Amino acid sequence: MIRKAAESLRKRFIAWILVAGLATSVPLFSQSVRPNIIIILVDDLGFSTIDCYGGLVETPNIDSLAEKGVRFNQFCNTARSCPSRAMLLTGLYPQEAGMGFMAAKRTKKDERLKVNAKVRPYAYQGYLGENIPTLPEMMKSAGYSTYMSGKWHVGSSDTATWPLQRGFDRFYGFLGGTQDYYHPDDLRSGNINIEPSGERYYTTDAFTTEAIQFLADHDMEKDSTPFFLYLAFNAPHFPMQAMPEDYERYRGRFMAGWDILRDSVLTRQKEMGIVPENTVLAPRPGPSERLGSKGEAVPSWESLTPEQKDAMDAIMATYAALVDRVDQNVGRLIEALRKTGELDNTIIFFLSDNGGEAESPALGNFNIEDLGIYGKGGKNYGRAWATFTNTPFREYKHFMHQGGIQTPLIIHWPSGINSSMNNSIITEYGFLPDITMTCVDLAGATRPDIKNGKEVPDSDGRSLKGLLQGQDTPIHTSPVFGEHEGNRMIRLGRWKMVGFYNDPWELYDVVEDRSESHNVAGKHPALVRRLNKAYTRWAADAGVLPWDQVEAFLK
C-alpha cells in the first residue's frame, strides 16, 4: 500500500484528483477504562440472512446486539475467506499482508508447495507476512490478553504461521478453510492436534464453549486486564451439516420459493431502512460463463417439480439451521459476559467474511435423505438460494459486486456507543481495516513502523470510534479498493466502479442504485478514467498482479 513520506503525498494527490473535499479530523471521546473487544466472524453468510437485516432466520440474540447497538448497511469485506481474514487481522489489503489469494495448505503429500511458496510473489505467498503485525500482536503490546476460537485460514504451511505464533495466547479450532462439523480431523488446542470430545460434538457449540472457558479463566486469573477474543465460526460454510432439532424447526418454511421470498425480504429491508426505498431486486440470474459448469441459470420456482421444491426447502432449512445455531451460541456468549459483569464494557463486532456462495449448480449439491441427520448432511445449498440470501444484490462470494462483498456489520458496546444511537443504521460505507484500526484505537495500541527490520505498510483503515458517538462525518474520503482472482473494485463516495476478470469496468451510483442494476460507465467516461488511474496506482503499490500470472505461480 502507501508507504511513508513521498508515498503519502502521492496518496493525498490521488484523493485530490478524485474529490473536491478533503477529510476532516474527528475528535474522539475519552474513556477511563479500555473495553474488552470481541470479533465474531461468520463464514459465507449472505447479507439478507439474519432477521435484523430483513432475513427469515430467527436470530434473537444477534438482533439484541443490534437493538442496543448499531447496524451498518454499506460495510464491505473482500469477497473470500482468506483475503478477508487477512484484512481483518492486519488492517491491510490482503496483497500487502501476503494473502492476495488463498492460504498455502499443509498436507503430507504436497511438500512441493513449500518450494512453490518460495518463488511466489510476496503478495500471493499464502500466509501472513512475517513483517506484518497482526491485530492480536498489537493488542498484546497494549496489555490485552488474546484468545481465538474457530477457523484460522490465513496460513498453515508452517508452524510459524499458526495462531499462537502470530499473537494469540490461546487457540482452539482448525487451521484450514473447511472441516466436518461433527468430526473435524484438523482440530487443535494450541499447536496440538486433538480429537473432538463430548456427546454430539458440533463445531459451532464447541468453539463457543472454548471461548467462554477462555474468558472464565481470564476472569479468574487476569480480571484487572482487558481481553481480545476472536470467535471465528465456520458456519454457515459448506458442508451443510445442521443439528437435527434446528433443521426440523425450519423444515417447510421456504416452500414459497426464492422468487416470492426475495420480494418479501426486500420489502422488509426497505421497512427497516436497511436499503433505500428506491432499491430494486437484481434479476434472477441467467447462465454465467464465469461460474463454468456450475453457472446454469436459476430457474423460476414455479418451474420446479413438487419433489424438487421439497428438496430445495430441505437444503435451505439446513442453511437456516446452521445460522440459527450460531445465534444460539451468540446468546451463550452474551450470557457469560453478563454473568461476569463484562457485557457493558465489551465492544462486540458481528460480521461475515464474504457473501453467500455459488460454488455448485443452481439447485445445490446434496442428497435429501442425508439432511437433518446427526453425522450427515449436504455440501452446497446452490446458486438459487445464494441469490436469495444475498437479496437484493448481484453475484456471490469470489466477486466484487455487492453480493460478494456486502456484509452485515453489527457493533454493540453499551458503555461506549451513544445510547441515542441504539438500533440505528449507519449509512456510511467502510471496510474491514476500519475494524482493525478501531480495535487499535480503543486499546490504546500502536501499529509499529518497523517489524523484523522491514517497513510496515500504512493502513487505509479508519477508526469508527467517533462515528459510534454520533459524529456525522464520512469514514472515508479517499478511495477504498478490492481485488480477488482478477475481479476488482474501487469505491469513492457515491460511486462504485467494479469489474469481472478480463471484463470492462462497470460504474454504479450506489446511493441511487444499491443493487448495481444500471451501469452508467458510458455516461461518465472522465470519471471512469480517473477512477481507473487511481486503481492502477493502488494495484501497483499493493503488489496486485494480473490473474493469469498469479494462476501460473499456483500451478
Chain centre distance of CA 294: 23
Q: Give backbone dihedrals phi and psi of 25, rounded to 5 degrees, phi first.
A: -65, 145
452 CB-contact burial (10 Å; exposed 0-12 / middle 13-18 / buried 19+): exposed
Question: Does the annotation mark 153 as catalytic?
Answer: yes
> What are the Cα distances from residue 458, in Å, to 129, 135, 245, 461?
14, 14, 48, 9
How many helices and strands in the chain, by DSSP H and E?
14, 17
Residue 306, preceding bond cis, omega within 30 degrees?
Answer: no
Question: Does the annotation mark 76 as catalytic?
Answer: no
> What are the Cα distances from residue 105, in Å, to 117, 293, 534?
10, 25, 34
**Residue of 82, 218, 237, 439 marked active site:** 82
d(CA 399, CA 397): 6
For residue 450, list its beta bridge partners: 455
Name the DSSP letter for residue 48: T
Name the DSSP letter for residue 163: G
**Residue of 52, 153, 218, 439 marked active site:** 153
d(CA 203, CA 162): 19
d(CA 544, CA 550): 9
Mapped to the 3 state alphabet, what secondary structure does 104-116 carry?
CCCCCCCCHHHHH
Residue with cell 431486486: 281
User: Where are the extended beta strands (E) located within 217-342?
Assistant: 227-232
> What residues are labeled active site?
82, 153
